[in-house]
Amino acid sequence: MNTISRRHFLKLMGATTALAATPPILKAQAVPPRVVVVGGGFAGATVAKYLHRWGGAGVSITLVEINPTHVSCILSNLVLNGSLGLSTITFGYNTLQQNGINVIQDQAVGIDNGNRKLQLPGGKILNYDLIVLAPGIDFDPIPGLDFNKIPHAWKAGPQTTLLQQQLAAMPAGGTFVQTIPPKPYRCPPGPYERVCVVANYLKRNKPRSKVIVLDANPIDPNFPQNPYSAIVAEQATFTKAFSRTYANIVEYHPGVVLQQVDSQNKIAMTDHGNFKANVLNVIPPQRAGGIVESAGLTHGGRWALVDPLSYESTLPGQSGIHIIGDAQGTGQPKSGHIANAEAKVCADAILRLFAGEKPDPNPMTNSACFSPITAKTASWLTAVFAYDPNTLDPTTGKMGVMKVVPESSGEAPSATRENYQRMFTWANNLFADTFA
């Protein structure tokens, strides 16, 4: 059965799994449909958790994650200045397992969607009726870049520890150079938050040190005199932080594109010349995690093309594959908070599809985050997104996009101590809603 006719067949049956010509809800209960989730970060863990909470025994869930635990990128900049230990932002999958979710520590290497099979190393196979991919990001290769010497620390874990150790060993009066990739990338305010956290750490511990920021994002042509108009998120907050709070420490260069790295000598080679560092942190340009690209779900672009009602791929032959979190290309920001939000929309849609229904026609998601600006203060950024059926998505060529509700979008008026405390309350609830 080819894809088109198969789709029609499924529509007639009112199910995404062509098991037999019986009412789909009965089949779903007799033999629970098998959902395989690839990736156990904020998106993957949340979709597994909520498929179980909302689907119960009506769905069989397997989570495939290569690591035994997930280390949160959220709050991980606070490991760099010694405020938090890595263990406090490390989460296991025990609660998911206790709830009957089958957690397999392995690598997803390929997808045979025609036969509904996920390929694991050594010829192992996982059969699925529907698969959710939440692999996060991969990095573009940069000539000369060796992550063992020049950490990205943009996937939290050993890389975070490496950067923390390099900063601790940096001499007073030294130079920290950090590159920022072109948008979109994981966590829009994250690179600027890191600049602040490191500048604050150096100010207190390594007098006379400099922070040189090489931002690939260009100055806004509407504000050609304002270099800070290149800042991707929380422009008011970070303009103030760079130009006032850390005026004698931070040197901000917009529109500088990294081309090559001398990892041995810690030199960032750019279209605006070379920048030598004592500690060099390269955050490379980003794209969807490898399995999304190798399965042909990006259509030659960087991110997966999906329908924001269900996060199912819009590409022919890819029905039954849903992509959530940083790897999806709806244009919503790439962050743990909204990955959790997308996962709930996806879980709800999957259960409705199994029951022969259509996804909720008006899904909402939201983004919220707090960023430390000093060792005692933090800012926030937030936005609510609503589905608009009447706008064309230029990436998929289909109608329907997630759009910011205008007045819902904004940043904190100033970085405050109260926000610093609220940052932990936010993060701890998000961690619990995802992993517990």
Partner 1 sequence: MISHHHYLLPILSSLALTIPVVAQAQPPAGRLLAAQCAQCHGTDGKAVGDMENLAGNNAQELFNEMLEMKYSTNMGDIMHRQAKGYDESQLSLIAQYYASLRSGTANRGTNNGAAGTGNNDD
71-109 burial, b for 16+ CB within 10 Å, e for fewer? bbbbbbbbbbbeebebeebbbebeebeeeebebbebebe
Cβ atoms of 289 and 39 closer than 8 Å: yes
Residue 77 or 178: which CB sits closer to partner 1? 77
Shortest CB 397 distance to partner 1, Å: 27
Q: Is 86 in the site for partner 1 (CB under 8 A)?
A: no
CA 304, CA 67: separation in Å to the nearest integer? 23
Q: Is 91 in the site for partner 1 (CB under 8 A)?
A: yes
Q: Write out the binding residues for partner 1, residues 323-362 only, by CB under 8 A.
A: 337, 340-341, 344-345, 348, 351-352, 354-357, 360
Residue 57 or 125: which CB sits closer to partner 1? 57
Residue of 204, 272, 276, 398 that binds partner 1 (CB under 8 A): 204
Contacts of 293 (CB under 8 A, 6+ apart): 138, 287
- DSSP letter for each residue of 222-239: T-TT-GGGG-SS-HHHHH
Cβ atoms of 283 and 185 closer than 8 Å: yes
Q: Taking the alpha carbons of 44, 46, 48, 54 in that order, is the dihedral positive or negative?
A: negative
Q: Is 21 in the site for partner 1 (CB under 8 A)?
A: no
Site stretch for partner 1 (CB under 8 A), options 1-9, 164-172, 218-226, 377-385: 377-385
Q: Is 380 in the site for partner 1 (CB under 8 A)?
A: yes
**3-state SS assignment for residue 265:** coil
Q: Write out the binding residues for partner 1, residues 357-376 only, by CB under 8 A.
A: 357, 360, 363-366, 368, 375-376
Q: Is 54 in the site for partner 1 (CB under 8 A)?
A: yes
Site stretch for partner 1 (CB under 8 A), options 103-111, 255-263, 278-286, 427-435: 427-435
Q: Is 425 in the site for partner 1 (CB under 8 A)?
A: yes
Residue 172 burial by CB count (10 A; 0-12/13-18/19+): exposed, middle or buried? exposed
CA 279, CA 139: separation in Å to the nearest integer? 20
Q: Is 384 in the site for partner 1 (CB under 8 A)?
A: yes
Cβ atoms of 395 and 329 closer than 8 Å: yes
Q: Write out the binding residues for partner 1, residues 150-189 only, by CB under 8 A.
A: none
Residue 265 or 429: which CB sits closer to partner 1? 429
Residue of 16, 38, 44, 50 that binds partner 1 (CB under 8 A): 50
CA 189, CA 239: separation in Å to the nearest integer? 12
Q: Around Cβ 202, how many Cβ atoms within 10 Å?
A: 26
Shortest CB 231 distance to partner 1, Å: 20
Residue of 15, 28, 261, 268 that binds partner 1 (CB under 8 A): 28
Site stretch for partner 1 (CB under 8 A), options 135-143, 217-225, 297-305, 408-416: 408-416
Measuring CA to CA, how many Å separate 422 from each of 45, 191, 320? Answer: 24, 21, 39
- Enter the tokens of residue 90: 């490390």
Q: Write out the binding residues for partner 1, residues 94-133 only, by CB under 8 A.
A: 94-95, 98
Q: Is 14 in the site for partner 1 (CB under 8 A)?
A: yes
Q: Is 59 in the site for partner 1 (CB under 8 A)?
A: yes
Shortest CB 363 distance to partner 1, Å: 7
- Enter the tokens of residue 257: 């594109």
Q: DSSP 3-state helix, strand, coil percentages of the chain (rounded to 5)?
A: 35, 25, 40
Shortest CB 47 distance to partner 1, Å: 12
Q: Is 92 in the site for partner 1 (CB under 8 A)?
A: yes
Shortest CB 379 distance to partner 1, Å: 10
Cβ atoms of 366 and 333 closer than 8 Å: no
Residue 274 or 409: which CB sits closer to partner 1? 409
Residue 82 or 389: which CB sits closer to partner 1? 82
# residues contacting partner 1 (CB under 8 A) = 76
Q: Is 409 in the site for partner 1 (CB under 8 A)?
A: yes
- Enter the tokens of residue 403: 């759009």
Shortest CB 401 distance to partner 1, Å: 16
